[in-house]
Amino acid sequence: MKRLVLPSIFLAASAGMFSCGKTTTINSNMELTGKWVLESVVQNEDTIRKPGLTKGQMEVSLLFKDKGELEATSSTNFLTGYYETSQDNEIQLGGGGTERAETSWGDLFVNALPAVNQYDLSAEKLVLYYENNNALIFNKARLR
């Protein structure tokens, strides 16, 4: 099986976030809690839409839990960590996960996560902004 190491910048940034000396209070945003499914990625003014799933792939999603806990799935990996929000719609994500080969869709997601710093939230849509107004656009997951 081919293995791909998750971007070292995410793991290094996460390690730095977990080991920093300052004390932070996790702000659990009740509107943000729940599962969000990645529908499109905007990079350099181009919109990349979610591809169809093939056998063995997972839906790319984020699950914001109470008390700042975060779970995510990329196309082939599981990620766990934390999130913190603050005034002015700032958000910080951190964590790590498994390291199986990613699809190009999963790579877009995993590579963007460490750079996410702002969010915009409506009832059914979550936009996470990173690097020069690039964005990950999620829809609220429907309960089945």
Are 103 and 111 in contact by the 8 Å Cβ rule? The answer is no
Instruction: Please state, in angstroms and rounded to a whole number, the distance separating the CA atoms of residues 52 and 140.
Output: 18
Per-residue pLDDT of the chain (144 residues; tens, 9 = 90+): 433 444 433 433 343 333 333 334 445 555 899 999 999 999 998 999 999 988 889 999 999 998 899 999 999 999 999 999 998 899 999 988 888 889 999 999 999 999 999 999 988 999 999 998 899 999 999 876
Domain boundaries, the chain: 8-18+26-140
Instruction: Please state, in angstroms and rounded to a whole number, the distance separating the CA atoms of residues 25 and 16.
Output: 17
What's the topology of domain 8-18+26-140? Lipocalin (2.40.128)
Reference 67, options 38, 25, 105, 104; nearest CA is 25
Tell me the percentage of the chain whose pLDDT exceeds 70: 78
* Chain segment 77-104, per-residue pLDDT in tens: 999 999 999 988 999 999 888 888 899 9
Tell how strand 134-140 and strand 34-43 pair up: antiparallel
> What is the per-residue DSSP string for 70-94?
EEEE-SS-EEEEEEEEEGGGEEEEE
Are 77 and 99 in contact by the 8 Å Cβ rule? The answer is yes
